[in-house]
């Protein structure tokens, strides 16, 4: 009997590709998004349904799960892929933007997991894959909200991994590197335009943004992330983290295999902080 997975954030990019990949592997897929696009199911109508789901709206989550369970008979896995980001100076970021990032990236997965757990337990176990980021364990400038939301997701996931293992449910964190080919980057920059940069930060913002544009690593392939999400879902080992991408592999080595001083020095180089310090005098 085919297994069933619910995936959030399937309107474009990574979520859409992941839904198609699971269906191609013989899974039943509940592909969810805030504004349903039925065309996603056209290539595989027997195995894939599209359902409305907003991770900040618990009733919509329950309705999507119910529709999927009614269609396919159960639920075996969840992929929390929906997420938002913004490039901003924290001091100038509107409170409603802060809430939106955390509502989507932290409370959203919590809402989905809470609604899915009874069905996973009824199935006798399963998998929860939370799509995090390499900045879930390293920090970079201008992404303080995204970084902190992913750190929260990582801590939450690691903690519940112990609890849910007792129920036969395995929790995974997939940590992708920079993917510039999806709409995520475009949506991030659109959100960025809504936050004015104060004059006193203009020079630093321009410098840090340029360092971000001059990223020293190759882009992470979207298909590599899709493959990793699928592998994490079917893996029955106790593994928690699945970093994917040349940048994140380097970050993981730096974060976990060096001293704090070495880590901080190298990260300052990677984000352009060392050249800022050499060029500008920071106010006392």
Among candidate residues 189, 228, 280, 257, the one with its CA nearest the CA of residue 81: 228
Q: Which stretches does DSSP call E strand in the chain? A: 4-7, 28-33, 48-52, 77-80, 126-131, 169-176, 241-244
Name the CA radius of gyration of the chain, rounded: 20
| pLDDT for 233 beyond 60 | yes
**Which pLDDT score is estimated for 188?**
44
239 inside domain: yes
> Residue 94 CB: number of other CB atoms within 10 A?
13
In a domain, 251, yes or no: no
Stretch 15-39: mean pLDDT, rounded? 97
**Domain around 36:** 4-198+218-245
Give the active site residue among 146, 204, 242, 251: 146
Q: Which CATH number is 187's domain given? A: 3.40.50.720
For the chain, how many structural domains are there in total?
A: 1
> Is residue 278 in some structural domain?
no
In a domain, 204, yes or no: no
Report yes or no on 213 lying in a domain: no
Residue-level pLDDT at 213: 87
Instruction: State the pLDDT confidence band at 214, using cuts at 50, 70 and 90.
Output: confident
CA distance 258 to 250: 11
**Residues 219 and 186: beta-carbon distance below 8 Å:** no
Residue 73 in domain = yes
Residue 269 is assigned to a structural domain of this protein: no
| Portion of the chain with pLDDT greater than 70, in percent | 93
Q: How far apart are CA 84 and CA 93, in angstroms?
A: 15
Task: Identify the pLDDT of residue 115.
Answer: 98
Give residue for tokens 């809504």. Answer: 194
Q: Euclidean distance between the first and final Cα of the chain, in Å?
A: 66
pLDDT above 90 coverage of the chain, percent: 86
Q: What value does the mean pLDDT of the chain take?
A: 92
Does the pLDDT at position 39 exceed 50?
A: yes
Q: What is the pLDDT of residues 147-203, one digit of tens each?
A: 999 999 999 999 999 999 999 999 999 999 988 754 444 444 444 555 689 999 999
Active site residue 146: yes
Tell me phi and psi for residue 9, to 5 degrees. Answer: 70, 45
How many residues comprise the chain? Answer: 284
| pLDDT tens sequence across 45-66 | 999 999 999 999 999 999 999 9
- Mean pLDDT along residues 233-250: 95
Residue 17 has pLDDT above 60, yes or no: yes
179 within some domain: yes
């Amino acid at each position: 009997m085919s297994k069933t997975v619910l995936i959030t954030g399937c309107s474009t990019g990574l979520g859409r590709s992941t839904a198609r990949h699971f269906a191609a592997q013989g899974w039943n897929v509940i592909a969810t998004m805030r504004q349903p696009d039925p065309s996603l199911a056209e290539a595989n109508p027997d195995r894939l349904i599209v359902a409305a789901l907003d991770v900040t709206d618990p009733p919509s989550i329950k309705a999507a799960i119910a529709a999927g369970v009614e269609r396919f008979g159960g639920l075996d896995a969840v992929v929390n892929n929906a997420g938002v980001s913004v490039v901003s100076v924290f001091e100038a970021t509107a409170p409603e933007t802060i809430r939106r990032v955390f509502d989507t990236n932290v409370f959203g997965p919590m809402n989905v997991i809470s609604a899915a757990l009874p069905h996973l337990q009824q199935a006798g176990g399963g998998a929860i894959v939370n799509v995090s980021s390499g900045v879930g364990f390293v920090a970079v400038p201008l992404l303080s909200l995204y970084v902190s939301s992913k750190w929260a997701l990582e801590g939450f996931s690691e903690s519940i991994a112990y609890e849910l293992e007792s129920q036969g449910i395995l929790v995974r964190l997939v940590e992708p590197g920079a993917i510039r080919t999806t709409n995520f980057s475009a949506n991030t920059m659109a959100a960025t335009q809504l936050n004015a940069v104060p004059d006193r930060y203009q020079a630093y913002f321009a410098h840090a943004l340029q360092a971000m544009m001059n990223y020293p690593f190759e882009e992470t392939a979207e298909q590599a992330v899709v493959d990793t999400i699928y592998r994490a879902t079917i893996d029955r080992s106790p593994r928690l983290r699945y970093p994917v991408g040349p940048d994140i592999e380097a970050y993981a080595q730096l974060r976990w295999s060096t001293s704090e001083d070495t880590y901080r020095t190298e990260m300052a180089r990677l984000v352009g902080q060392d050249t800022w310090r050499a060029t500008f005098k920071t106010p006392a």
